[in-house]
Amino acid sequence: MAGSGNLHLREQEKPLLRVEDLVVNFLSAGGETVQAVSGFSIDVLEGETLGLVGESGCGKSTTARAIIQSPKPTAGSIQLDGVELTELDDEEMRRTRPILQMIFQDPISSLNPRRTIRDVVAEPLYVWWEEETGRLAIASWFEKTGNLFQKISSKFSRPARILAPLAWLSLIFWLVSEASDERSLETWLSWLKTPAQFIGFPVLFILAAMAAALSVVGAVWLVLAVILPFGVISGKFGSVTNTVGLTGLFTSLFAVVFLFFRTWSSLGGVAHWLSSGILLLAVGFLAVWSLLACREPSRAGSSALAVLVFMLFAIQVFYIVGLDGNTKLAVFSLSAAVDGILYWLIARRYKLARAQMRQRAEPEVKRVLEAVGMEVEGSLERKPHEFSGGQAQRISIARALILNPKVVICDEPVSALDVSVQAQILNLLEDMKAAYGLTLVFIAHDLAVVKNISDRVAVMYLGKICEVGPPELLYSAPQHPYTRLLIDAIPRPDPEFDQRNAVRIEGELPSPLAPPSGCRFRTRCPNVQAKCSTEEPQMKEVASGHYVACHYPADSELNQ
Amino acid sequence: MIKLKLRKRTREVDETSRTNNSLGLMFWAAVSFLAVLTFCAIFADILPFKNPTQTFKGFNKNGPSGSFLLGNDGVGRDILSRVVYGAQTSLVIAVVGTSIALIIGGSIGLAAGYYRGKVDRLLTIMLNTTLIIPPLILFISLILFLDPAAERRMFILIFTFALLSIAPIGRVVRANTMAWSEREFVLAAQTIGARNGRVMFREILPNVAPSLISYSLIVMATLIIVEGAVAFLGLSVPSPTPTWGDMINKGRPHLDVAPHITLMPALSMFLTVLSLNFIGDKLQEKFESKAAIL
Amino acid sequence: MKFLKRNIGRIVLTGLVLVILFAWFARPPFSWTFGLLILVGAFGALVTDANYAARRIFSLIPVLLIVSFVVFSLMSSLPGDPALTILGAGATAESIAQLNQELGFDQPFFNRYGNWMGDVIVGDLGTSRILREDVADGISRSITPTLQLMAYSLILAVLIAVPAGMYSGYKNGTRQDRIISYTMLGFLAIPNFVLALVLVLFLAVGGVTIFGVDIGFRWLPAARYVPIGAGWSDHLKHMLLPSLSLAMSQAAVFMRLLRSDMIGTLRLPFIDLARSKGLKTGRILFRHALRPSSFTLITVMGLSVGSLIGGALITEYVFTLPGVGSYIFTGIFKRDFVAVQGAVLVISTLFIVVLTFSDLLYLALDPRLKHQSEAA
Amino acid sequence: MAKKFVKAFAVLFAFSLIAAACGGDSDETAIENEPEVVEEEVTQVEEDREQGDATGEDTRDDMTAVHGGRLVYGVEADTSNPFVPYASSCAISCRMILRSVSDALFITGAGGNIVPHLVETIVPSADFKSWTMAIRDGIKFHDGTPLDGAAVAYNLNTCRMSPLTGPALSQISDVTSDGQSVTISYTFPEALGPAALNSSTQCGFMFSPTWLQTIASNPLLTAEQRATAAGNPTELVGVGAFTFKSYTPGNGNSFIATRNADYWRGENGITGEELPYLDEIEFVVSVDIQGRSNGLKGGQFDIIHTSNADEIKKYEGNEDYVLLQANDYGETSMYMLNAAQGTNPYAGALRGDPELAMDPLGMNSTNPMIHLSCRKAAAHSLDTQRLADERGAGIVKPANGPFPPGSMGYLEDTGYPKFDIAMAQTEMEQCKIDSGQDPVTVGVTIGQDPFSAETADLVVSMMDDAFGEDISVVVTPIEQGQLIGLALAGAYHVMGWRNFGGVDPSELWYWWSAYTASPVNPTVPELALNFGRFVDPEMETAMQGVRFNPDPAVRKASAEAVNRLFGKNVWNLWTTWTLWGLISSPRVMDITTFTTPEGTMTAPVVAGKHSVQQIWCQDGNCQG
Chain A residues with CB under 8 Å of B115 CB are 243, 245-246
Is B13 a residue whose pLDDT tops 60?
no
Is D497 a residue whose pLDDT tops 50?
yes
The residues that bridge with D178 in the sheet, in sequence order, are D181
**Higher-pLDDT residue of B288, A224:** B288
Separation between Cα atoms, residue A306 and residue A304, nearest integer Å: 5
Interface test with C, best of D9, D253, D482 (most C CBs within 10 A): D253
pLDDT for A270: 45
Least confident segment among A262-271, C186-195, D251-260, D344-353: A262-271
CA-based angle A550:A552:A553, to the nearest 5?
A: 70
Chain A residues with CB under 8 Å of C373 CB are 29
pLDDT for D242: 93
Given A302, A323, A344, the domain boundary residue is: A323
Do residues A418 and A532 both lie within one domain? yes
The residue of chain A with its CA nearest to that of C77 is: A269
Do residues A309 and A178 both lie within one domain? yes
Domain map (residue ranges) of chain B: 26-42+77-293
Q: Which residues contact A112 (CB under 8 A, 6 or more apart)?
A: A120, A384, B183, B185, B189, B203, B206, B207
Taking the CA of residue B68 and the nearest CA in chain A, the distance in Å comes to 24
Q: Is D112 on the interface with C (CB under 8 A)?
A: no
Contact between D233 and C132 using a beta-carbon 8 Å cutoff: yes
Taking the CA of residue C142 and the nearest CA in chain B, the distance in Å comes to 15
Domain count, chain A: 2
Taking the CA of residue B78 and the nearest CA in chain D, the distance in Å comes to 13
CATH number for D70-328+580-620 (one of 3.40.50.2300, 3.40.50.1010, 3.40.190.10, 3.30.450.20): it is: 3.40.190.10
Contact between D450 and B239 using a beta-carbon 8 Å cutoff: no
Given A293, A323, A353, the domain boundary residue is: A323
Do residues A110 and A36 both lie within one domain? yes
Given A281, A303, A323, the domain boundary residue is: A323
Contact between C224 and D89 using a beta-carbon 8 Å cutoff: no
**Is the distance from CB of D529 to CB of D167 less than 8 angstroms?**
yes
Interface test with C, best of B2, B7, B18, B137 (most C CBs within 10 A): B137
Sign of CA dihedral C62, C67, C68, C69: positive
Interface test with D, best of C140, C199, C224 (most D CBs within 10 A): C224
Out of B148, B233, B273, the one facing C189 most closely (by C-beta) is: B273
Contact between C67 and B266 using a beta-carbon 8 Å cutoff: no
The residue of chain D with its CA nearest to that of B246 is: D450
Separation between Cα atoms, residue D455 and residue B76, nearest integer Å: 11
Taking the CA of residue B276 and the nearest CA in chain C, the distance in Å comes to 9
Q: Strand pairing of A456-461 and A49-53?
A: parallel
The residues that bridge with D104 in the sheet, in sequence order, are D205
Out of C185, C310, C314, the one facing B232 most closely (by C-beta) is: C314
Interface test with A, best of B195, B201, B227 (most A CBs within 10 A): B195
Domain assignment present for residue A375? The answer is: no
Taking the CA of residue B244 and the nearest CA in chain D, the distance in Å comes to 13
Instruction: Name the strand (E) or helix (H) holding A121.
Output: helix A117-144
Do residues A136 and A276 both lie within one domain? yes
Cβ contacts from B onto D, under 8 A: 72
**Higher-pLDDT residue of B217, A487:** B217
Indicate the pLDDT class of residue D23, thresholds 50, 70 and 90.
very low
DSSP string, C256-272: HHHHHHHHHHHTSHHHH
Q: How far is CA C190 from the centre of its chain?
A: 20
The residue of chain C with its CA nearest to that of D479 is: C333
pTM above threshold 0.95: no
The CATH architecture that domain D332-577 belongs to is Roll (3.10)
Subunits next to A (3 or more Cβ pairs <8 Å) are: B, C
Q: How many CB atoms lie within 10 A of CB A476?
A: 8
Interface test with B, best of A80, A132, A180, A210 (most B CBs within 10 A): A210
Section D48-65 average pLDDT = 73
Q: Is A197 on the interface with B (CB under 8 A)?
A: no
pLDDT for B288: 67
Do residues A141 and A247 both lie within one domain? yes
**Higher-pLDDT residue of C333, D478:** D478
Q: Is the ipTM of this complex over 0.95?
A: no
What are the residue ranges of helices labelled H in chain C? 2-6, 8-26, 30-76, 82-87, 93-103, 109-121, 135-170, 175-189, 192-199, 232-266, 269-276, 281-283, 290-293, 295-319, 324-333, 337-365, 368-375
CA-based angle D252:D256:D262, to the nearest 5?
A: 170
Q: Which amino acid is at A354?
A: R
Contact between A269 and C76 using a beta-carbon 8 Å cutoff: yes
Least confident segment among A541-545, D164-168, D308-312: D164-168
Q: Which residues contact C230 (CB under 8 A, 6 or more apart)?
A: none
Separation between Cα atoms, residue B136 and residue B232, nearest integer Å: 12
Read off the pLDDT of residues D323-332 as tens digits, 9 standing for 90 and up.
888 877 778 8
pLDDT for B34: 92
Is D216 a residue whose pLDDT tops 60?
yes
By C-alpha distance, which of A342, A327, A413 is closest to A145?
A342
Burial of residue D135, with CB atoms counted within 10 A of its CB: 0-12 exposed, 13-18 middle, 19 or more buried:
buried
Do residues A73 and A28 both lie within one domain? yes
Q: Which amino acid is at C286?
A: F
C335 φψ region: left (φ > 0), alpha (ψ -120 to 50), beta (else)? left
Indicate the pLDDT class of residue D411, thresholds 50, 70 and 90.
confident
Read off the pLDDT of residues C57-93 as tens digits, 9 standing for 90 and up.
777 777 777 778 777 776 666 555 555 555 544 455 6
Indicate the pLDDT class of residue C160, thresholds 50, 70 and 90.
very high
At residue B249, the 3 state secondary structure works out as helix
Contact between A28 and C374 using a beta-carbon 8 Å cutoff: yes
Q: How many CB atoms lie within 10 A of CB C101?
A: 12
CATH superfamily label, B26-42+77-293 = MetI-like (1.10.3720.10)
Interface test with C, best of B5, B7, B133 (most C CBs within 10 A): B133
Q: Which amino acid is at D150?
A: A
CA-based angle B94:B100:B103, to the nearest 5?
A: 135
Do residues A431 and A457 both lie within one domain? yes
Read off the pLDDT of residues B157-173 as tens digits, 9 standing for 90 and up.
777 888 888 888 888 88
Contact between B229 and C191 using a beta-carbon 8 Å cutoff: yes
Taking the CA of residue B106 and the nearest CA in chain C, the distance in Å comes to 21
Do residues A46 and A99 both lie within one domain? yes
Contact between C205 and D294 using a beta-carbon 8 Å cutoff: yes
Do residues A221 and A126 both lie within one domain? yes
Separation between Cα atoms, residue A525 and residue A485, nearest integer Å: 9
Domain map (residue ranges) of chain D: 70-328+580-620, 332-577
pLDDT for A164: 33
Chain D residues with CB under 8 Å of C130 CB are 81
pLDDT for D166: 72
Domain assignment present for residue A479? The answer is: yes
Chain B residues with CB under 8 Å of A392 CB are none
Read off the pLDDT of residues D350-374 as tens digits, 9 standing for 90 and up.
777 888 888 877 778 888 999 999 9
At residue D420, the 3 state secondary structure works out as coil
Q: Is D301 on the interface with C (CB under 8 A)?
A: yes
Separation between Cα atoms, residue D100 and residue D275, nearest integer Å: 12
pLDDT for D314: 85
Q: How far is CA D98 from the centre of its chain?
A: 13
User: Taking chain A (560 residues) in consecutive chunks of 10 residues, what is each chunk's mean pLDDT?
Assistant: 63 82 78 80 87 83 86 86 83 83 86 86 81 54 40 37 40 43 42 34 36 38 44 36 36 48 44 49 48 38 44 45 42 46 45 63 87 83 85 89 88 82 86 86 84 87 86 84 81 63 64 79 80 82 83 60
Contact between D448 and B234 using a beta-carbon 8 Å cutoff: yes
At residue C211, the 3 state secondary structure works out as coil
For A:494-553, CB contacts with C below 8 A are none
Contact between B96 and A210 using a beta-carbon 8 Å cutoff: yes
At residue D283, the 3 state secondary structure works out as strand
Do residues A108 and A184 both lie within one domain? no
As a whole number of Å, the CA-based R_g of chain B is: 23
By C-alpha distance, which of C126, C200, C154 is closest to C305?
C154
Contact between D450 and B252 using a beta-carbon 8 Å cutoff: yes
pLDDT for C77: 60
Domain assignment present for residue A353? The answer is: no
For C:318-347, CB contacts with B below 8 A are 328-329, 332-333, 340, 344, 347
Do residues A224 and A153 both lie within one domain? yes
Separation between Cα atoms, residue C367 and residue B46, nearest integer Å: 62
pLDDT for A359: 79
Contact between A113 and B203 using a beta-carbon 8 Å cutoff: no
Separation between Cα atoms, residue B68 and residue C356, nearest integer Å: 53
Q: Which residues contact A519 (CB under 8 A, 6 or more apart)?
A: A1, A2, A3, A525, A532, A533, A535, A536, A537, A550, A551
pLDDT for A30: 59
Q: What is the widest separation between alpha-carbon atoms in chain D?
A: 71
Separation between Cα atoms, residue D119 and residue D597, nearest integer Å: 11
Q: Which residues contact A428 (CB under 8 A, 6 or more apart)?
A: A372, A373, A394, A397
Q: Is B255 on the interface with C (CB under 8 A)?
A: yes
Residue D22 has, within 13 A of its CA and on its CB side, a CA count of 10
Taking the CA of residue D234 and the nearest CA in chain C, the distance in Å comes to 9
Taking the CA of residue D252 and the nearest CA in chain C, the distance in Å comes to 5
The overall average pLDDT reported for chain D is 81
Subunits next to C (3 or more Cβ pairs <8 Å) are: A, B, D
Section C310-320 average pLDDT = 82
Interface test with D, best of C128, C241, C320, C338 (most D CBs within 10 A): C320
Q: Which domain holds residue A193?
A: 120-323
| DSSP assigned state of A51 | E
Q: Is D299 on the interface with C (CB under 8 A)?
A: yes
Q: How far is CA B139 from the centre of its chain?
A: 17
Q: Strand pairing of A456-461 and A75-80?
A: unpaired
Q: Is C273 on the interface with B (CB under 8 A)?
A: no
Is D588 a residue whose pLDDT tops 60?
yes
Taking the CA of residue B43 and the nearest CA in chain A, the distance in Å comes to 6
Do residues A254 and A298 both lie within one domain? yes
Read off the pLDDT of residues D220-230 as tens digits, 9 standing for 90 and up.
888 888 888 88
